[in-house]
Structure 1
Amino acid sequence: MDLPASRTPALPAPFAWHGDHVGIELPGGAALFTTRRGGVSTGPYASLNLGRWTDDDPAAVDANRDRLAEAICLPRAAVAQGFQVHETTVRRVTVAPDPDADLEQADGQATALTDVAPLVLTADCLPVALIACGAVAMVHAGWRGLAGGILAEGVTALRELGADGQIAAAIGPGAGVCCYEVGDEVRAAFARHAASAFDGRNVDLKAIAARELRDAGVHEVHDAGLCTICSDPELFFSHRRDGGVTGRQAGVAWRA
């Protein structure tokens, strides 16, 4: 059963609601950032949990992934995903994914293939799409990956795969400065950033990501402006808000 579509927030252009999910179309490709709506999972994983490494029913997760595949008009086997470990590896996907192969450790996926959709899973970390004419990427940017330079690595991956011209980025739903209180270790990791990236004990990961993207040569950066922690709990999974027992939403990109 779907969760009620209550209090659906407005989105800044060029983001738009695509059914239950947040979509964006940019020159060269498109991206979709899922919500927790529209799936079959129950309990703390209700309803569109896409995370296999949760305690959700695997059959429900598979059914949810089929629904995601329908939403992006590609087969489920076309999704390129890694085993995320909060590091800075961005995998260059040059052949169609093997659905039976073990996942490689990687927190980003990039491809020039038109029939492959890079995907990452999040539940407060930032999903960041990189889109250009010729290649696309989706990157999982937690604070460790962000501090380590994963966004610049994503840009490098696109260029190596033959992306032409300008690169655009889309920052999907994730922890906002409104809610992301951190300790000294995280603050120290971003000490090079301006004071505007901090609000007391809180850190603005999205502002930091935007700065990192522009420093890496990204031409335009779009932010969906949605915090997974304080948004309607029926809209997004949040690891921090839900005490670690929660599902995962996805960011997925594909070439136009």
Structure 2
Amino acid sequence: MESFVWDQAKQAGASLMRLEAWENTDAGITAGFTTRIGGVSTGCWSSLNMGLHVGDRNEDVVRNRQLLSEAIGWPFEAFTCAEQVHSDNVHIVTVDDMGKGRDSRHSALQDTDALITNVRGVLLASFYADCVPLYFYDPVHEAVGLAHAGWKGTAAEIACRTVEAMKKAFGTNPSQLRGAIGPAIGGCCYEVDGPVIGRMEELCSSFANLTAVDSMIRRTQDGKAMLDLKEINRQIMIKAGILPTHIEISTWCTSCRTDLLFSHRAEKGATGRMASWIGMEKR
């Protein structure tokens, strides 16, 4: 069953995928993923582009982000994001950070690919066009997180770094933590070459379930491989202590569904970005 449920009816001009398993369990949580449908962007960024760094008009992107905020019923002032660099850097978002990056790259939290917070009323967001969105929710200590995992972030085990940061900052017990893996390029479409294969094989050798490695890295006859980044990140979450039964994983492939989602690889770089989001409402 798909964890990220697409609401085909645009709300406030934005067509969204909701992480219903979490939202239905806790009415105080909002979490999900945008599609490319809705918004005001034109050209190759049509039309709900969330990325300020892809050449789109700044004012159109800001308007699209406002439409997301309106669709989920949150103030745009809460929208908080980072300047992503494919690192494993984790930033603890405080009240003073709220709203950073919402309307400019300059004001974003710099050199960061994971955001965590226990501040209610802060909306965390990050951006994708094939990379893997990772979600974290600690219902016991009331904290949330997002991480952006391309192959480099995956190799650096950014999911583990995020869990470690939540343990240190909030007292999170990994066995009580909820994890989710959002829409991303699938193993059906993500072909990689030698250096990436070697790094991923090294990483996968640390997993408890070694029998699944061949399904995560499927070798092809030309010396390349099809890589299942979503499943690799699920295994990293398990390695970090999250229970397998506490992890949601999306089946949506960005490269297969360019009618619905942006894909950097399928569209040869000329495309927009989706946003993941998560936040805890103020009481």
Question: Does the aligned pair in 2 maintain the 1:135–1:161 contact within 8 Å?
Answer: no
**Do structure 1's residue 132 and structure 2's residue 138 form an aligned pair?**
yes
Aligned residue number for residue 249 of structure 1? 274
Within 1, Cα distance between the matches of 2:99 and 2:178? 29
User: Which secondary structure does the structure 1 equivalent of 2:170 belong to?
Assistant: coil
Cα distance, 1:183 vs structure 2:
0.7
For 1:1-256, list aligned pairs within 5 A: 12-18=1-7, 19=9, 20-24=15-19, 25-26=21-22, 29-96=29-96, 97-99=98-100, 101-133=107-139, 134-162=142-170, 164=172, 166-192=176-202, 193=204, 194-200=213-219, 201-219=225-243, 220-231=246-257, 233-255=258-280
Displacement after TM superposition at 1:234 (Å): 2.0
Distance apart, 1:214 and its partner CA: 0.6
Structure of larger gyration radius: 2
2:134 partner SS: strand
8 Å Cα contact 2:4-2:182 kept in structure 1: no
Contact kept? 1:174, 1:226, Cα under 8 Å: yes
Between the aligned partners of 2:81 and 2:218, the Cα distance in structure 1 is 34
CA contact 1:132–1:163 (8 Å) conserved in 2: no
The answer (yes or no) to whether the contact 1:41–1:49 under 8 Å persists in 2 is yes
Q: CA deviation at 1:98?
A: 4.8
Pairs aligned (count): 244
Q: Match of 2:104?
A: none
Contact residue 135 and residue 180 of structure 2 kept, 8 A:
yes
Q: Unaligned 5+ residue runs, structure 1?
A: 1-11
CA contact (8 A) 2:81 2:108 kept: no
Q: Could you tell me how far 1:157 is from its partner in structure 2?
A: 2.3
Deviating beyond 4 angstroms after TM superposition, the runs of 4 or more aligned structure 1 residues are none
Q: 1:169 Cα shift?
A: 1.1
Offset at residue 15 of structure 1 (A): 3.4
The C-alpha deviation readout for 1:28-80, integer Å capped at 9, x for no partner, is: 63411110011111110001001001111111111101001112322222122
Alpha-carbon distance between aligned partners in 2 of 1:149 and 1:114, rounded to the nearest angstrom: 27
Question: 1:71 aligns to what SS in structure 2?
Answer: helix
- Check 1:221–1:239 CA distance in 2 against 1; reply closer, same or farther (3 A cut): same
Q: Distance in 2 between matches of 1:53 and 1:241?
A: 18
**Take 1:199 and 1:217, find their aligned partners in 2: how far apart are those partners?**
26
Q: TM-score, normalised by structure 2?
A: 0.81
1:131-157, CA deviations, whole angstroms, 9 ceiling, x for partnerless residues?
Answer: 111100011000001110100111122
d(CA) in 2 for partners of 1:176 and 1:13? Answer: 14
More helix by share: 2
Aligned-CA RMSD value: 1.7
- 1:254 is paired with a residue whose SS is strand
In structure 2, what is the Cα distance between the partners aligned to 1:88 and 1:164? Answer: 19
Q: Deviations over 1:68-107 (max 9, x none)?
A: 1112322222122111000101111122425473532100
C-alpha change, 1:16 and 1:253, in structure 2 (3 Å) is same
> SS of the counterpart of 2:126?
strand
Residue pair 1:87, 1:145 contacting (<8 A) in 2 also: yes
Q: Is the 8 A contact 1:22 1:33 kept in 2?
A: yes
Which deviates the most, 57-66 or 99-108? Answer: 99-108
> 1:71/1:158 Cα in 2 relative to 1: closer, same or farther (>3 Å)?
farther
